[in-house]
Amino acid sequence: MRKIKKEHRKTNDQGTSAMGTMEGARRATGIVPMAGASAHLVNSAPDPEVPEKKPRRTFTAKYKLRILAEADACTQPGQMGALLRREGLYSSNLTTWRQQREKGILKAMTPKKRGRKRKQANPLAKRVAQLEKENRRLQQKLKKADLIIEAQKKMSEILGIAQNLDESDESI
């Protein structure tokens, strides 16, 4: 039996066994054993990320009004308690919500649609966009025509051709 234990505890060059580091006849206190039955217990450190506190429950105005309607409908003894247990609520919740309902706060808290507000379709917007596009196109056409006219004037000056310009054409 001793031979089996000795074979099990094979030592390496530093005088350590498979069970851990030895200091003379006893195991070193600061060194963790590498293998063995208790290795999984020693190596399992607690999780450093502690779960945060549960966030507070928030109730929508619709939910509050529904529960208040159910609570108001309770007539038999024990129905109110059953409702509160089923929903996981306290009687103080009902008291607070009733006060809010009386003050009109719950109606003001009705959910509003989130996100951007839709623009109302302007019936003239399409026509305005079309006219602006046409205006830009005509302005580009006018610029091209002006460039052509300027080029023609310069060519006629260079070639010495007399220009037949009317007063009405030049004012345009």
**pLDDT at residue 134 greater than cutoff 60:** yes
- pLDDT confidence tier of residue 11, bands split at 50, 70 and 90: very low
In a domain, 47, yes or no: no
Q: What is the dihedral of CA 111, 112, 113, 115, to 10 degrees?
A: -120
- Check whether 9 has a pLDDT greater than 60: no
Residue 96 lies in a domain: yes
Task: Give the pLDDT confidence of 85-98 residue by residue, as tens digits.
Answer: 999 999 999 999 99
Same domain for 75 and 104: yes
Residue 22 above 80 pLDDT? no
- Residue 98 sits in the same domain as residue 131: no
Q: State the pTM of this model.
A: 0.37
Residue 49 counted as domain residue? no
Confidence at residue 111, expressed as pLDDT on a 0 to 100 scale: 65
The DSSP element (H or E) to which 52 belongs, if any, is none
pLDDT digits (tens, 9 = 90+) for 30-43: 555 555 555 455 56
Structure tokens given for 141: 């056409």
Q: Where in the sequence is the domain holding 84, given as residue range(s)?
A: 61-108
Residue 83 lies in a domain: yes
Claim to verify: residue 134 and residue 96 sit in the same structural domain = no
Residue 171's contacts (CB-CB under 8 Å, 6 or more residues apart) are none
Provide the pairing of β-strand 22-23 with 26-27: antiparallel
Q: What is the pLDDT of residues 51-98, one digit of tens each?
A: 778 888 888 888 999 999 999 999 898 999 999 999 999 999 999 999
| Cβ neighbours around 74 below 10 Å, total | 14
Tokens of 59: 């109730």
Alpha carbons 139 and 147: distance in angstroms, whole number: 12
Q: Which two tokens stand for residue 110?
A: 């009705």
Q: Are residues 99 and 134 in the same domain?
A: no
* Beta strands in 9-59, from DSSP E residues, in sequence order: 22-23, 26-27
The Cα angle at residue 150 between residues 149 and 152, in degrees rounded to 5: 65
Kindly state whether residue 7 falls inside one of the protein's structural domains.
no
Does residue 12 fall inside a structural domain?
Answer: no
How far from 112 is each of 60, 117, 127, 132, CA to CA, in Å? 11, 11, 33, 37
DSSP, collapsed to helix, strand or coil, labels residue 27 as strand
Between residues 160 and 137, the one the model is more confident about: 137
The answer to the question of residue 76 being in a domain is yes
Q: How far apart are CA 62 and CA 99, in angstroms?
A: 15
Give the whole-angstrom CA distance, residue 20 versus residue 31: 7
Residue 6 forms part of a structural domain: no
Asked if residue 133 has pLDDT above 80, the reply is yes
Count: domains in the chain: 2
- For residues 66 and 98, membership in a common domain is answered with yes
Is residue 130 domain-shared with residue 104, that is, in the same domain? no
Best-predicted range by mean pLDDT among 70-79, 120-129, 156-165? 70-79
